[in-house]
Amino acid sequence: MTNQIRPQPGILDIALYQGGKAHLAGVAKVVKLSSNENPFGPSDQAKLAFARTAETLHRYPGTDHAALRHAIAEVWGLDAGRIICGAGSDEIITFLCQAYAGPGDEVVHTEHGFLMYRISALAAGATPVEVPERDRVADVDAILAACTARTRLVFLANPNNPTGTMLAAEEVARLAEGLPSQALLVLDGAYAEYVAGYDGGAALVDARQNVVMTRTFSKIYGLGGLRIGWGYGPAHVIDVLNRVRGPFNLSTTQLEVAEAAVRDRDHLSHCQAENARLRDWLAGELAALGVPSDPSQANFILARFADPAEAEACNAHLAARGLIVRQVASYKLPHCLRISIGDEEACRQVADAIATFKGAR
C-alpha cells in the first residue's frame, strides 16, 4: 500500500539544525569553543536558585511567568506586560512564524543569518527569502528591495551570528520605517548584552508597532542547558504570541534560575568585561598571523582563511589539539571558522595552535 501520510508543505525541505560539536573521537579532554557558550558559566545566585527548585519539582509552574517578566522589566527598564518568555529565544521565533506566516507568505532573512529563521519559516509553511549581505554585514537597502506584498516577517540578528557584525541604530530604524505595512521586524538580540550601552532594540520597539525584540539566557547568562528566552514587543503582538504559547512552556526551575540570573548584575558585568578583553586580544593575535576577522560585537570571532581548504586544514589542526571550533559552511562561509571566546587559557591555546598552523612557531 502506498503511504499517503504526508507532513505539511515545507517541512521536508528543512535541513536538520546541527549544533556545535562537543566531542572528538579519541580525545578525553576537549576545549569546546563551538557553541558561543559563556566559559564562566552561570552566576552563583543562579546555581543556588537551581538547587532550591529541587524541593518543588512535583508542582506545576505558574502559567504567566510574572516574577521573571517583572525581573526582566526591572533590570532593563521595560514594560513587564509586553514581555513573553519561552524555551530559548528559538521558541519565540517559532511562535512568530506560527502566528504571522503561513502558506503564500514570505519570511525575509540575510544570507549569513541564524539558521532557525529558515527552519521556522518552512515549518510554518511560509517561504524563506534570503537576502545578500555586504561584506558580511546586513544591507538595509537589499532587505527592503526583497520585501513584497507577501512579506510578513523580517529577521535581523544584531549583532549577527556567525559574523559578529552589527548594524547601527539609525540603520535599524530606517529598516523598520521602510517595511511594508503588513510586515514585522524581528530583532534577534541573543548577543545584545555583549554590546556596551546597547538596549537590543528596546527603544525602537517602544516607538513603533512593527518591531519585536528577542533575547536569551543561553549566552552571557550561561544557561544554555536550561533553554530560557524572552521577547519584547507591542501589546498587540505579545497578545497574539501568548495565544499560541503553551501554558506550561517553562518549568519552575527555568523561571526561578532565570530570575536569579538576570538580577545578578555583578556577574553580568564581569562576563562583559572579560569577553571584551579576551575577544579583542584573540582577534589581534590572529590578525597578526594573517587570519583577519571583522570587528565582533559578540562572544566569538569569525576567523577568515584564504580558502575553504585552508579553513578545513586549520580546523583539523585545532581538533588534533583538542580544540573544537565551528565550521560555518552551512552559513555560506566555507572559508571561515567561528571561534567562541573561552577563558584566558583557552584563548591562548587557540592563538598558539593557529600560530603553529601558520608556521609562525
Helix axes 115-123, 88-100, angle to 10 degrees: 40
Q: What is the phi-psi region of residue 314: left when phi exceeds 0, alpha when psi lies from -120 to 50, beta otherwise?
A: alpha
Domain count, the chain: 2
pLDDT grade, residue 1 (50/70/90)? Answer: low
C-alpha pair distances (Å), 272 with each of 28, 39, 54, 200, 298: 30, 12, 30, 15, 10
CATH of the domain at 283: 3.90.1150.10
Q: What is the per-residue pLDDT for 26?
A: 67
Is there a domain that residue 2 lies in? no
The average pLDDT across 57-85 equals 97
77 and 136 inside one domain: yes
Burial letters 245-264, b for 16+ CB under 10 A, else e:
beeebbbbbbbbbbbbbbbb
Q: Which of 231, 264, 297 is the last residue of a domain?
A: 264
The average pLDDT across 202-221 equals 98
Locate 329 and state its grid cell: 559552511
Is there a domain that residue 179 lies in? yes
Q: Which of 264, 282, 297 is the last residue of a domain?
A: 264
The average pLDDT across 195-213 equals 97
33 and 57 inside one domain: no
Is there a domain that residue 6 lies in? no
Which structural domain, as residue segments, surrounds residue 334? 11-41+266-357
The tens digit of pLDDT for each residue in 25-45 reads 767 688 999 999 999 999 999
Q: How far apart are alpha carbons 237 and 319 in whole angstroms?
A: 45
86 and 175 inside one domain: yes
Assess whether pLDDT exceeds 90 at residue 350. Answer: yes
pTM: 0.93
324 and 351 inside one domain: yes
pLDDT grade, residue 319 (50/70/90)? Answer: very high
109 and 23 inside one domain: no
The tens digit of pLDDT for each residue in 165-201 reads 999 999 999 999 999 999 999 999 999 999 999 999 9
143 and 230 inside one domain: yes
Contact (CB, 8 A) for 229 and 89:
yes
Q: What is the three-class DSSP state of 32?
A: strand
User: Which of 298, 238, 294 has the alpha carbon at shortest distance from 272?
Assistant: 298
C-alpha pair distances (Å), 255 with each of 64, 65, 192, 249, 261: 11, 7, 21, 10, 10
